[in-house]
């Protein structure tokens, strides 16, 4: 048996493709359909380790959860983790493959197209429906010869599809009508219609707009979907998390997050909605400063020194601020980081912030695992590790660990106004945040409730769901 595919493409990046795909997954699961998510190629430094091994993008993890499934590499066979220098680390089937420029990456299109098809076929053999998410705009004309993730995949699979546009971004008429004007005959034949996302206000006021677009495109509107401020999903990339709505800083808990050049896993900060993201030494003083994870720890550590932020962080610590390091940020808190095998950098050693008596040695093997842990204050939580290297603390140092893993191993440090941990996701738990920052923090609702809310959101707004052909 082969699954029925359904593709969700967008007029642009951040049009709502991940949101719509997750909602469709939740809606289909509620209807008893065995459904799985798929995104052939994702570009994000927000990744997550699969329990059976390998890492994929966070958006596909959320979609797997909406389907009631554990995430697996087949759901996101190619993950591009940008380095900030025109290259990306290419993760294939969950494992690091190569570091390539865009031009060199495109030279591997034929090979990678086979990787994509094998991963899709694997899912298609096991499920009734595969919900496929595209990337960026589906009609980037210059990229069509290298397309792995958008309409080339649609036509190869003969997959019905829908186009999503975000009305909040403006230009919805031009983006939808223009996209349809650029479609080939086969792409138009397979398209079931368009959806307008993130509409605010009286829906009846846009009915004339819907009819105008339908007339110009010859395609039906599949729904005008309202803005849903009460539903929260993981951000796919750092832009999403840094554009989230800010809140007022709690008393005695002002917070800065360092915007490292290769910052990763910014989902760690989705509860810290009052944080200031800083990339140069600010004039203000803070109660807490967070050094986040980084793809290239040595390069980002050298940037900290060159930018003056390293000296600023040290001065803030002397003044009384608590410095929190997560993963690569934890490694930076020590005396030095060395890379004797050149696993990450041509530089073999870099001076750390010297806030804890620790040394980190990077290795070639990446640690990727999901864990359960308990903080020193007794808070149990789930988290995950994605890092190179091991950090060794001087035996004479009388530091408490940040947490104890449920297998008995110790993680990180909790010292005088210093907190360090390898555990991504720890600060996505309100009780862990409250213990670390000393203030009550509200959560964003349970995942189950958010996915139920997404299913309701989709079911209420979708028009003629039978036209999708997924029953």
Report phi then psi at 245, rounded to 5: -65, 130
CATH number of domain containing 83: 3.40.50.300
**pLDDT for 454 beyond 90:** yes
User: What three-state secondary structure class fits 394?
Assistant: coil
End-to-end CA distance of the chain: 16
Give the pair of three-digit tokens for residue 302: 């050298």
**pLDDT for 421 beyond 70:** yes
Is 471 inside any structural domain?
A: no
- The CB-side HSE value for 29 (13 A sphere, CA atoms) comes to 23
Is 147 inside any structural domain?
A: yes
The predicted pLDDT at position 342 comes to 86
Look up the domain containing 143 and give its range: 4-232+449-464
Asked if 445 contacts 234 with a C-beta cutoff of 8 angstroms, the reply is no
The predicted pLDDT at position 239 comes to 47
Residues 205, 66 within the same domain: yes
**pLDDT for 409 beyond 60:** yes
Residue 17's closest CA among 164, 203, 174, 158? 164
Residues 157, 262 within the same domain: no
**pLDDT for 456 beyond 80:** yes
Instruction: Specify whether 67 is catalytic.
Output: no
Residues 94, 138 within the same domain: yes
Query: What is the pLDDT averaged over residues 66-84?
Result: 94
User: Could you give the residue ranges of the DSSP H alpha helices within 340-469?
Assistant: 430-437, 447-461
Is 469 inside any structural domain?
A: no
Is 470 inside any structural domain?
A: no
CATH number of domain containing 419: 3.40.50.880
Strand pairing category for 55-57 and 47-49? antiparallel
The predicted pLDDT at position 470 comes to 83
**pLDDT for 280 beyond 90:** yes
Q: CA–CA separation, 313 vs 333, rounded Å? A: 10
Q: Label residue 443 by pLDDT band (50, 70, 90).
A: low
Task: Average the pLDDT over each of 293-297, 342-346, 464-468 and give the range with the smallest value.
Answer: 342-346
Q: Label residue 444 by pLDDT band (50, 70, 90).
A: low
Percent of the chain's residues with pLDDT above 70: 95
The predicted pLDDT at position 455 comes to 95
Is 336 inside any structural domain?
A: yes
**What's the mean pLDDT when you consider all of the chain?**
92
Q: Residue 57: which H helix or E strand, with range?
A: strand 55-57
Task: Average the pLDDT over each of 286-295, 330-339, 362-371, 375-384 and give the range with the smallest value.
Answer: 362-371
Residues 210, 248 within the same domain: no
Instruction: Specify whether 424 is catalytic.
Output: yes
Is 455 inside any structural domain?
A: yes
> What are residue 373's DSSP bridge partners?
381, 405
String of DSSP letters for 301-347 = HHHHHHHTHHHHHHHHHHHTPEEEEETHHHHHTSSEEE-TT-SS-S-
- The CB-side HSE value for 178 (13 A sphere, CA atoms) comes to 14
Residues 188, 321 within the same domain: no
Residues 227, 89 within the same domain: yes
Residues 282, 414 within the same domain: yes
The predicted pLDDT at position 234 comes to 63
Name, in order, each residue with C-beta under 8 angstroms of 419's C-beta and a sequence gap of 6 or more.
Answer: 322, 323, 324, 325, 402, 412, 413, 436
Residues 185, 259 within the same domain: no
Number of domains in the chain: 2
The predicted pLDDT at position 250 comes to 87
Q: Label residue 331 by pLDDT band (50, 70, 90).
A: very high
The predicted pLDDT at position 235 comes to 58
Report the b/e string of 103-139 with b at 16+ CB within 10 A. Answer: eebeebeeebbebbbebbebbbeebbbbbbbbbbbbb
pLDDT in tens, 342-395: 888 788 899 999 999 999 999 888 899 999 999 999 999 999 999 999 999 987
Q: Label residue 56 by pLDDT band (50, 70, 90).
A: very high
- Kindly name the residue from 317, 424, 429, 433 that is annotated as catalytic: 424
- Kindly name the residue from 327, 387, 429, 433 that is annotated as catalytic: 327
Is 144 inside any structural domain?
A: yes
Residues 180, 273 within the same domain: no
Q: Label residue 243 by pLDDT band (50, 70, 90).
A: very low
How far, rounded to the nearest angstrom, does the alpha carbon of residue 79 sit from its chain's CA centroid? 11
**pLDDT for 238 beyond 60:** no
Is 298 inside any structural domain?
A: yes
Residues 126, 203 within the same domain: yes
Percent of the chain's residues with pLDDT above 90: 81
Q: Label residue 230 by pLDDT band (50, 70, 90).
A: confident
Residues 224, 255 within the same domain: no
**pLDDT for 284 beyond 50:** yes
Q: CA–CA separation, 17 vs 28, rounded Å? A: 16
The predicted pLDDT at position 245 comes to 53
Query: What is the pLDDT averaged over residues 311-326?
Result: 98
The predicted pLDDT at position 128 comes to 97
Residues 281, 154 within the same domain: no
What's this model's pTM, rounded to 2 decimal places?
0.86
Task: Average the pLDDT over each of 10-24, 139-153, 430-444 and give the range with the smallest value.
Answer: 430-444
């Amino acid at each position: 048996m082969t699954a029925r595919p359904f593709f969700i493409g967008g007029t642009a990046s951040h049009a709502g493709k991940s949101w719509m795909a997750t909602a469709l997954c939740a809606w289909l699961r509620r209807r008893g359909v065995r459904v799985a998510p798929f995104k052939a190629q994702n570009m994000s430094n927000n990744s997550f380790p699969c329990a059976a091994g390998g890492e994929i993008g966070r958006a596909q993890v959320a979609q797997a959860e909406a389907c009631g499934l554990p995430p697996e590499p087949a759901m996101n066979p190619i993950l591009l983790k940008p380095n900030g220098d025109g290259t990306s680390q290419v993760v294939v089937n969950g494992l690091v493959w190569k570091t390539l420029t865009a031009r060199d990456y495109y030279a591997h299109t034929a090979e990678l197209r086979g990787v994509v098809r094998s991963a899709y076929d694997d899912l298609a053999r096991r499920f009734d429906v595969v919900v496929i998410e595209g990337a960026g705009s589906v009609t980037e004309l210059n990229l069509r010869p290298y397309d792995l993730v958008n309409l080339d995949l649609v036509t190869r699979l003969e997959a019905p599809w829908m186009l999503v546009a975000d009305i909040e971004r403006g230009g919805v008429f031009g983006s939808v009508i223009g996209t349809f004007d650029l479609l080939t005959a086969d792409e138009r034949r397979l398209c079931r219609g368009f959806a307008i996302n993130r509409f605010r206000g009286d829906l009846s006021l846009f009915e004339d707009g819907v009819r105008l677009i339908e007339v110009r495109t010859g395609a039906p509107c599949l729904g005008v979907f309202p803005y849903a401020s009460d539903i929260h999903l993981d951000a796919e990339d750092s832009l999403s998390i840094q554009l989230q709505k800010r809140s007022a800083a709690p008393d005695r808990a002002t917070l800065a997050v360092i915007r490292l050049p290769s910052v990763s896993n910014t989902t760690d900060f989705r509860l810290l909605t009052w944080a200031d993201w800083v990339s140069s030494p600010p004039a203000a003083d803070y109660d807490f400063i967070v050094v986040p994870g980084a793809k290239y720890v040595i390069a980002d550590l050298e940037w900290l020194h060159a930018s003056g932020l390293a000296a600023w962080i040290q001065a803030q610590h002397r003044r009384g601020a608590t410095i929190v390091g997560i993963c690569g940020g934890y490694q930076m808190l020590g005396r030095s980081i060395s890379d004797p095998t050149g696993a990450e950098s041509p530089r073999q050693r870099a001076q750390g912030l010297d806030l804890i008596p620790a040394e980190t040695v990077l290795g070639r093997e990446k640690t990727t695992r999901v864990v359960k842990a308990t903080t020193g204050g007794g808070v149990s939580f789930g988290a995950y590790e994605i890092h190179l290297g091991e950090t060794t603390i001087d035996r004479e140092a009388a530091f408490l660990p940040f947490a104890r893993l449920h297998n008995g191993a110790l993680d990180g440090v909790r010292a005088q106004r210093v907190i360090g941990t390898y555990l991504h996701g720890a600060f996505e738990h309100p009780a862990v945040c409250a213990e670390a920052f000393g203030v009550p923090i509200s959560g964003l609702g349970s995942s189950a409730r958010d996915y139920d809310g997404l299913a309701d959101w989709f079911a209420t707004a979708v028009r003629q769901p039978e036209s999708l052909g997924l029953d």
